[in-house]
Amino acid sequence: MTQAPVENVDPAAVAALPKAELHLHIEGTLEPELILALAARNGITLPFPTLEALREQYEFTDLQSFLNLYYANMAVLITEADFTDMTGAYLARAKESGVRHAEIMFDPQAHVARGVELSTAVNGIAAALATSEADFGITTGLIAAFLRDESEESALAVLEQLLAMNAPIIGIGLDSAEVGNPPSKFIRLFKRAAQAGLRLVAHAGEEGPPSYIEDALDLLGVERIDHGIRAVEDKYLVKRLVAEQVPLTVCPLSNVRLRTVDTLAAHPLPQMITAGLNVCVNSDDPAYFGGYVGANFAALVAEFEWDSATVELLAANSIRSSFASDERKQQLLGELAAWSAAQD
């Protein structure tokens, strides 16, 4: 039987595709221009004081080479207004990418370690999120991500501080240098967060082995895995993730820029979709990796010549895998159905 040729989805339509972004580090949205502007505002001298010199640093060989620059650039975040401006700039760009709901991670320990009060970071970010629906039509949730290359004690102390100050967080995550820092290091942290009623996510299987994904599920009780691309190396794990429909928040441009995959063409996402895994597309650290979630979708559509049904599936997965209310999910799935109908 011959099939009618499938129409590739129009790039403009992909930008308008209603979607949720579930894997986003707010500190990874600091664009070079904003880094320099905040440095000037706060009287900070950066090691790379011009746009040209700064941009030259954006060539990464692995996760650690990126993290070095990512943490160094946070030096410009001093006041609540800095955190508010960074978050507002992300929301404006997310809107252009069709994001209708965003779950945003921040790295509290990275700020405390620099001598910035926890309340400065939390209140600054929260101020922008408080008006995100009115300003940009984006509902949001804030996730405190803990640094897995720091001790569990340090994470527990900061979590207790966040709880004591009633920080408006919906959950906790686990990020930073993965290899050598397995989920088993953070069992008490995740138990405490669960007890406090927080939602649980963790990076796993970005650079680390498939066993870290299994351990994040079994030892930490996470509800979503950030990245998870190395799951494809273990067919039993894939079977389980499909059966349980565990959400995997995949970040294709990040994986290319951090060289976890050689090229976008070699990315396992098409294989993951075919296997029936619950995958969605996210930008991770868009200021560092060549674009926001719309750019990730655009690059994927160009590379894999996807039709509208494929991008619709990815957007539906993102909405269903979010921690938004059932009412908000239904609303966004309705918007997605309307988008789909307009493609015919």
Q: Which residues are catalytic?
A: 206
207 binds Zn ion (CB under 5 A): no
Choice between 85 and 175, CB closer to ligand ADE: 175
Q: How far is the CB of 25 from ligand ADE (least distance, A)?
A: 4
Per-residue DSSP letter, 328: H
Alpha helices for the chain (secondary structure H)? 11-16, 32-42, 51-55, 63-73, 80-96, 108-112, 118-130, 132-136, 152-164, 187-195, 210-218, 235-244, 252-257, 269-275, 286-289, 293-304, 308-320, 326-343
Q: How far is the CB of 167 from Zn ion (least distance, A)?
A: 20
Distances (CA, A) of 131 to 82, 139, 279: 16, 9, 29
Q: Output the six-digit token pair for 18.
A: 């209603």
Q: Which of 213, 341, 220, 203 is nearest to 282 (CA)?
A: 203
Residue 82: name its binding partner from Zn ion, ligand ADE, none (Cβ under 5 to 8 Å by kind). Answer: none
284 binds Zn ion (CB under 5 A): yes
Choice between 281 and 332, CB closer to ligand ADE: 281
Choice between 89 and 253, CB closer to ligand ADE: 253
Burial pattern 75-105, b for ≥16 Cβ within 10 A else e, equals bbbbebebbbbbbbbbbebbbebbbbbbbbb
Residue 183: name its binding partner from Zn ion, ligand ADE, none (Cβ under 5 to 8 Å by kind). Answer: none
Residue 95: name its binding partner from ligand ADE, Zn ion, none (Cβ under 5 to 8 Å by kind). Answer: none
Residues in the site for ligand ADE, rule: CB under 6 A?
Answer: 25, 28, 63, 70, 175-176, 203, 206, 254, 284-285
Q: How far is the CB of 296 from Zn ion (least distance, A)?
A: 13
Q: Which of 76, 19, 25 is nearest to 47 (CA)?
A: 76
How many residues form the binding site for Zn ion (CB under 5 A)?
1
Residue 308: name its binding partner from Zn ion, ligand ADE, none (Cβ under 5 to 8 Å by kind). Answer: none
Choice between 21 and 284, CB closer to Zn ion: 284
Q: How far is the CB of 24 from Zn ion (least distance, A)?
A: 8
Choice between 159 and 201, CB closer to Zn ion: 201
Residue with the closest Cβ to ligand ADE? 175
Q: How far is the CB of 286 from ligand ADE (least distance, A)?
A: 11
Site string for Zn ion, 243-282 (x = CB under 5 A): ----------------------------------------
Note the residue count of the chain: 344
Per DSSP, the residues of 93-148 read HHHHTTEEEEEEEE-HHHHHTTT--HHHHHHHHHHHHHTHHHHHS-EEEEEEEEET
